[in-house]
Amino acid sequence: MQFKAKKSLGQNFLIDKNIAKKIVQYGKISPDDTVLEIGPGTGSLTSEIIKQKPKNIILIEKDNRLSEELIIKYGNSIKILNNDILQIEENNFSKEQILVFGNLPYNISTKILTKWICNIKNKFWFKKLLLMFQKEVAERIVAKSKTKDYGRLSIISQWKMNVKKIMDINPFSFYPKPKVQSTLLEFTPKSNFFDISDVKNLEILTKTLFNKRRKMIKNSIFNIVNKDDFANIKLNIDLNCRPQDLKPEQYYILTKEIEKLIK
């Protein structure tokens, strides 16, 4: 390996070519696609993306050394931005909906995901996201109600997008080898999602209920909604259920009802 991987930038480079190929295949790149890759590193996914001949490729790499190397390797055919993805306003990437690949450091993947979800306007700026997570976090993102992994992250993640697990990836596919398994997830826009005015209200609701995960929701819900108001919310929620029994939709509807009361 030519580069000494920087721990601070969460560098675990994908070294298994077959996996890189597979990941890119899931993108189903067509000739008029604009592809954005975040954290391309040494270019293992990039090289596979190029083979699929999309119309445009944009790379965003925070590491100066790596982005210089990428410029040397790929030249002017690709737009390479030496930048921090967390500092970029994603809605301005392109007028067309783009395809996004990202094998990023685990902590950044979750940050990016929640930032992007909160900032999605009526029009989605992407058509598909293929992002890598630490397996345990991925399980929480895709979790259905009534399972042990279900919680705040599942409810936020499934609000505006369909989420799908694509595959687990073994630590041996990376160098240096990470301590945990990785999982690739696919996110696609929902044609309709609940129009919550302020995501903070959904956060407050899920936080308040899931902080008392094992308790019936009647023990915590009246910290947010007053009892009489709640009686008027026609949602058919059984107050004896636990937070993990409520479906994501019930959280979104409840948040909307609460917002009406606050107004």
Contact residues toward ligand SAH (CB under 6 A) are 9-14, 38-42, 44-45, 60-63, 66, 84-86, 103-105, 108
The residue (of 14 and 196) whose beta carbon lies closer to ligand SAH is 14
CB of 143 to ligand SAH, least distance (A): 25
Give the nearest distance from C-beta 82 to ligand SAH in angstroms. Answer: 9
d(CA 204, CA 226): 15
SS3 19: helix
DSSP-derived 3-state class of residue 80: strand
Q: How far is the CB of 4 from ligand SAH (least distance, A)?
A: 12
Closest approach of Cβ 115 to ligand SAH, in Å? Answer: 11
Q: Of the two residues 12 and 157, which places its CB atom closer to ligand SAH in the complex?
A: 12
Which residue in 93, 61, 92, 87 sits closest to 74, CA to CA? 61
d(CA 128, CA 36): 10
In the chain, DSSP assigns E strands to 13-14, 34-38, 56-60, 79-81, 98-102, 126-134, 161-169, 174-175, 182-189
Identify which of residues 14 and 254 has a Cβ nearer to ligand SAH in the complex.
14
